[in-house]
Amino acid sequence: MTGPPARVDPTYGGSVSDWDPPQYLGFADERSRPFADLIARVPGPASTVVDLGCGAGNLTPILRGRWPEAEVTGIDSSPQMIERARHDDPSTTYLQADIATWRPERPVDVIVSNAALQWVPGHRSLLPELIGRLRDGGRFAFQVPGNFDAPSHAILHELAGREPYAAHTTGIERPDAAGPDVYLDDLTGQGHRVDAWETTYLHVLTGPDPVFECAWSTGARPVLQALPQELRARFGREYRAALREAYPPRPYGTVLPFRRVFVVVERGG
């Protein structure tokens, strides 16, 4: 069980233009379990492994445990995340780059992506290109959230659609992902072997308003970034109160159901 890091400013009146590694890592256990479940289903050895959307690099040990002899490279678009990863893990190569435009110098054995592709607009059309960066028989494994109809997201966007927030939040990009059956159809139809499934985790969170803290560190960021500083604190208070009602605490903690979608692709010839 985990809770939010104590350093979070409850007013949310400052800048939120950049990713905050300490806030993100406050829920590292909930984010690492799906990654471990994904990697366990990737077959075969590998000498080159690339992690697209590596964040702060805290999941690299899972990759090293799975492929101890491999050359591992982490890719992330956030300079704050890359700086943190390089500081904590200087033995690994971490590069700041966009998932959609990154190119390896040569085809690689394994590409993994954990809860990152949902931030790439139209990522389904990008998948063939990502698979094309593998050697023949290489594996591409990714996991994306499948909870965009959950109360945490529904409340966020319903609230953001009200005034005075709507004037600032209309048209902002939302993370999005498909179901496992959609990815299965897409990628099998392109001649690849595909293993696709979904899992709903019941995360037991502790601490005050943990669902709010978890959402603030990831899914709510586009809304917070769009709001001017003078509205951000007010929005945070209203969102916090609504989530507290939607996810009431239980004697042992607050339960956050979280559906995730998994896909492992073996590139066909």
Percent pLDDT > 70 in the chain is: 88
Q: Which domains does the chain have, with CATH numbers?
A: 21-266 (3.40.50.150)
Q: What does the pLDDT average to over 75-101?
A: 94
Contact 121, 175 (CB under 8 A): no
- Give 31 or 58, the one with higher predicted confidence: 58
Q: Which sign, positive or negative, has the C-alpha torsion 51, 54, 58, 59? A: negative
C-alpha 137/C-alpha 14 separation (Å) is 48
pLDDT above 90 (res 255)? yes
pLDDT at 9 over 70: no
pLDDT confidence of residue 142: 98
Residues 6 or more apart whose Cβ sits within 8 Å of residue 84? 21, 56, 57
How far, in Å, are 39, 59, 141, 255 from residue 36 at the CA level? 5, 9, 11, 21
Is the pLDDT at 36 greater than 80? The verdict is yes
